[in-house]
Amino acid sequence: MTSADRPIRAIVFITNAISTELAKRVLDADGVPLGQVGLIVGRNIVVPWADQCGEVVHYGVSASLRLAGQVRTFGFYLNGSRAVRRWLAAGQVRDIYLANIDNLLTNHMLQWLRKA
């Protein structure tokens, strides 16, 4: 199922196990249905509730500290950027959760929020 079937009303960025748990607790507390969540998983981590989300962009590669190793992440950032632009363009996003702000996509999101 994609956001065309269910509108994405919340975007969540997570990058580690702690942010995974924190995000889930906040979503539950705020009453946000997971089916309306666009989830960006910024590392190769297990997110037990990801399959319940409306849409998920997974990191999909192993982390690398080498410059050449960063090339492998381009696909993730490209897919994530496209998804975020599509979700925002649909006009249904009401909440953005930045549980951990240590990657390029969350930096992009912070810039968008400043403009919005």
The pLDDT tens digits for 96-114 are 898 766 655 666 666 666 7
The pLDDT value given to residue 47 = 95
The answer to the question of residue 3 being in a domain is no
Residue with tokens 């889930």: 24
- CATH (domain of 77): 3.40.50
* Cα→Cα distances 22→58, 72, 88, 92, Å: 18, 28, 23, 23
Residue 115 lies inside a defined structural domain of this protein = no
In a domain, 5, yes or no: no
The string of pLDDT tens digits covering residues 1-56 is 444 567 999 999 998 888 899 999 999 999 999 999 999 998 888 999 999 999 99
Residue 1: the pLDDT is 43
Full residue range of the structural domain in which residue 93 is found: 10-109
